[in-house]
Amino acid sequence: MATSPTAWTRAALPLCLLGILDSETRSYGYALLGRLGEAGLDGVKAATLYPALTRLEEEGAVEVEWGAGDGGPGRKYYRITEEGRARLRRDQAAWGAFSRTVDSLLPVKLPAKGDEE
């Protein structure tokens, strides 16, 4: 069975989440889903997001705090830790190397997003 884009997204999700959290003070699940969607990963479901965040928390890459919701129940906010930033740097370098390797094996080089053909 071939690997699907859904599997690719699931594999890259921790890296993407750490990248988002590195650029923000803190964020909550629904906002993270929104940011992923804006970036083009709009197929990520809450049932995939929250277990990934829990694993990142268990690994010490993110910390959690509860805060007041906007007129509703409290929200669980996520913040990247120093350990998470170190992982982000390592994983980003590894992702770049992996991506270059895969690209080198493909027969056709596609133009980068925004490039004119």
Q: What is the CATH number of domain 11-96?
A: 1.10.10.10
Higher pLDDT, 110 or 45: 45
Q: Is the pLDDT of residue 116 over 90?
A: no
| AA identity, residue 87 | R
- 18-56 pLDDT, tens digit per residue, is 999 999 889 999 999 999 999 999 889 999 999 999 999
Cα gap 77→111, rounded to integer Å: 38
* 74: amino acid identity, one letter: G
Residue 6 pLDDT more than 90?
no
Mean pLDDT, range 4-9, rounded to an integer: 82
pLDDT (tens digit per residue) in 45-87: 999 999 999 999 999 999 999 988 777 788 999 999 999 999 9
- Report the distance separating Cα 57 and Cα 59, nearest Å: 5
**Three-state secondary structure call for residue 23:** coil
Which pLDDT value is given to residue 71? 78
- Confidence at residue 114, expressed as pLDDT on a 0 to 100 scale: 66
Q: What is the pLDDT of residue 1?
A: 42
